[in-house]
Structure 1
């Protein structure tokens, strides 16, 4: 059977009412041409209709790769389950998918990315579903929102709390895709897929297995075709036996606003001096203080935001390689990239399939995670996933819940208040005008991370801002450090909606953090791991 078909022919294969799984991470690995073909078919014929789509990580980025917005049409899309969603700047018109979600046009769910991958794996093995503790006491928990993003989703629950073997679990039933749309670089005539120009493998193999094992079809979008027998078997990441159809888009972008960069796909290594360092700023002060929380020899996860610049701090301080960075899209080591290329890394040690990276995170195999916050609650809970007045600016939780569920150490970073005008002078922080929006609130709008659960599990939680460092304790949030030049009462205690505990060992943050010169960072060595009983 000929596997290579046109985009239009592939779009014609998708039946009304199908459950369609799409492999993507924003612009990275997005089968954008295939999604566009489906949207065009609907505009012309009114079919396919009533699709349910699964997106372990967001499809599209609103910066040249529309992704899910190609099919965000009333009548075409019936329901959506995604780890995250395309976001846009507050000044722009919301993406079409956000208009459908906030307009309550379709049931929409924000499921942690790792759990969505787990659901595919369970469906592939024809098991009933996923039992997990990931998401307990957060918005994932049915005692809160149960992943629902709007009223229509609340009326159709997808997760329940159950007791199994004497313990409390969240249970997600398997969802069986009838179509999987994945992406690679090269396909041979038999459908074997290689990923040599991709910045990550993502979860294409798991998604293909879920569809194929349940009688569905797998459509692979690739950049190019080659003759059967010319691909090296060790390079094939999805075997042709799982691929039914191949479509070609020679212009597919490697990731957002990036046609092709061989350093992203690990084909070349960049000299370290070619990486741009962070300019001196308030955000750099925070990233420096976060870097002081690290240990040499550790494996550390990175999230989007201020913490994404911490690798550049180590690079500037001559400590590149002291820490192995791990990101949810699958890169291990190297230098995680910023802005449009976030989710990729240059000079990586390895690329893990994203589902297995999430297994690593869910089981807390790593040492620490550096993440951002939108709000911090009185109980230590953190919101990164919802702002009622700017919903489309937040992308959803992605892998945040998977990563934080059992992480041994988490450092959250962000600005103390939103909208404050700040400056730096003579190694001190100056607040020129206080922000109008407080971020330390009595109760967060959306619980993406549960402070009480962290206390119960003994997790080490630190919050780093430009003017203060705080720790989560069983008695509340304790202020441990303040910035030089800051008034404790006026600039910190009076700017929090809830009382902060002031440590009896309160100290001033290092003045070097607030000056332009390098800070002379040194990292203590991570303790040598031993097995119980003292065996190395």
Structure 2
């Protein structure tokens, strides 16, 4: 069998003008830097190849010169179909200036297209993208006016609408692995991710194309453990051994045993964050973490939630994930994003998106650049600046709960924290809450129709998505609603006695969030005063999100009242309480059962008119829901 090892220049010579090429990578992970550099050099020296179609899923670059930025030359590219553009400004400029045909499709859809092209299918049928700029009734994913061909169409199957993304042959794959043998078997034991290498290789092989893989070392023929081979030799046409500087594990880290999963980091290995807008936002978002649930954290602002979860001792109680295939552990940030430490598993990217698209995520924490009155979010296009959607559309449309995170304004925002309050020292120059977003990456109307719980978390306030638009749900202590919120927005939200954000968010010390989320304080929250024959229940700022939460509350009350020989009067504090819609019926049934068995008279109170309304809808047998604790007590005393 002939060896498949070539130089980078010889491998680049295999790419012909007019070819469709696909490349591996996620930010700086798995990027075939040597191959891309060789292809660029060939074009500079010979003006060939020309008129390539580039087809990629995740963003592959450093925002400057590396990764797919090597291909950002007029004439080299004719068409680009990609998932995330923000890290490849040289290619992005070609698209924005109308020098190439260009499409932005959801990252997960591109990932699935690799698999469907390999299987000989006509394309990918999915609900992902409905109602966003990818929908052909909006923009069809087209980036500029010269892009004419429709790659996305609407189809109806079994009475439901779907989007159909058209497949096409792929001629060349430029991929990456760790080790190859001379026959072309490829392992990835030193890579932080496996991404879509196998699916891409199959798609190209079954299209009659050429698969080229960059590695860092060569092993003897037949010496690779077959269970570690990610791309078998039968799919590989050429292997290139890269120099170390062109084969960094990420664009920020040459190599980490932790990212490769060879060792586990001890608790506290990751640094904590300084208190500022980023940590404030991450802390508030962390209040939504579902115990024993699965969470996706997006790039940028949401990355801070992982650091907060680690600081609060919550990592063992949630499974954090990232779209390129990370399951468990603590995701890295910056140019290391996509890598993680202490992971449970690393999956192929298309399988991760299978899980996401099917509703496997309990919570997604994502960034937001622009938000409008109906809850639309834009993270993909801002005039001449092209960021792209990446996995945002797949994730935001399919998670059971979504939390968007970002500063309230942008450009020079400075805040201060003192005595557990927030002050705006310097306001940002640019508004982010606008009358209308420039591009719809997330459809607020569709989420509201589906009943998806959606929050918008900033450093100074929290908004909640409703059928009628955004509602101001919480404000930071020290913030003036008119001056610091309403005057800085392009629309007027629904305002109805917003709650005060938890003061612990604005203090330096850890918040003790583990106690809150694990309900370790129920003994303190639910107490019986046998002398007065009253049960006191303090649900202030409690989140009741699962059936297990409901059962824990019911068990605590049963434990206290079963030995008690008479019915008790009950006072319940619902200030800042949240009862998720999914468990509202279970909660109401549990309360009704306790009332029938143990309670004499029950009085409830909440300072929030919105909460009083919700309680009235949930607890249909509750005639008395007061605004203050004094009113609730007086009601009981009047009946004595």
Query: Where on the TM-score scale, by shorter chain, does this alignment land: which range?
Result: over 0.9
Are the aligned partners of 1:80 and 1:108 in contact in 2 as well (CA < 8 Å)?
yes
Check conservation: 1:222, 1:250, Cα contact below 8 A: no
In 1, Cα distance between equivalents of 2:53 and 2:324: 23
1:478 matched to 2:471: yes
Which blocks of at least 5 consecutive residues in structure 2 are unaligned? 520-544, 549-585, 587-640
Specify which of 227, 251, 255 is matched with residue 256 of structure 1.
Answer: 251
> Corresponding residue for 2:87?
87
Runs of 4+ in 1 over 3 A off after TM superposition: 524-529
Residue in structure 2 matched with residue 280 of structure 1 by the alignment:
275
CA contact (8 A) 2:59 2:87 kept: no
Paired positions, count: 518
Contact 1:406 1:459 in 2 (8 A): no
| Structure 1 range deviating more: 235-244 or 414-423 | 414-423
Q: 270, 284, 290: which is aligned to 2:285? A: 290
The match for 1:426 is 419
Gaps of 5+ in 1: 89-94
**For the residues of structure 1 that align with 2:231 and 2:79, how far apart are their CA atoms?**
28
- The match for 2:546 among 516, 524, 527 is 527
**Corresponding residue for residue 157 of structure 2:** 164
1:456 to 449, 454, 460: 449
Q: CA offsets per residue over residues 299-330 of structure 1, 9 Å max, x none?
A: 10000122211111121122221111010111
Q: 1:163, 1:491 → 2: CA distance?
A: 46
User: What is the aligned partner in structure 2 of residue 403 from structure 1?
Assistant: 395
d(CA) in 2 for partners of 1:99, 1:527: 47
C-alpha deviation, 1:105, in angstroms: 0.4
1:177 is aligned to 2:151: no
Query: Aligned-pair distance for 1:440?
Result: 1.2
Asked if the contact 1:120/1:176 (under 8 Å) is kept, the reply is no
Instruction: Answer yes or no: is the 8 Å Cα contact 2:9–2:38 preserved in 1.
Output: yes
In 1, the alpha carbon distance for the partners of 2:420 and 2:279 equals 13
CA distance in 2, matches of 1:173, 1:14: 24
What is residue 142 of structure 1 aligned with on the other side?
136
Larger Rg: 2
C-alpha contact 2:8 2:35 (8 A) present in aligned 1: yes
Q: Contact 2:98–2:146 (CA<8 Å) still a contact in 1?
A: yes
Secondary structure of residue in 1 paired with 2:288:
coil
Find the aligned partners of 2:313 and 2:111 in 1 and give their Cα distance. Answer: 37
Deviation of 1:86 (Å): 4.6
Classify the secondary structure of the residue corresponding to 2:304: helix
- The question of 1:108 aligning with 2:109 is answered no
Displacement, 1:358? 0.9
Which piece of structure 1 moves more, 242-251 or 162-171? 162-171
CA distance in 2, matches of 1:290, 1:22: 34
- C-alpha root-mean-square deviation of aligned residues, in Å? 1.7
Give the drift of 1:165. 3.1
* Aligned mate of 2:372, from 370, 377, 380: 377
Structure showing greater relative contact order (alpha-carbon pairs closer than 8 Å, 6 or more residues apart): 1
Matching residue of 2:119: 125
- Structure with more of its chain in helix, by fraction: 2
- TM-score normalised per structure 1: 0.94
TM-score (norm 2): 0.79
Residues 81-139 of structure 1: per-residue CA shift (max 9 Å, x gap) = 11112538xxxxxx321221221100111111110112111111111111111011101
Task: Give the aligned partner of residue 30 of structure 2.
Answer: 29
Report the Cα distance in structure 2 between the residues aligned to 1:86 and 1:400, rounded to whole angstroms.
Answer: 13
C-alpha distance in 2 between matches for 1:86 and 1:459: 28
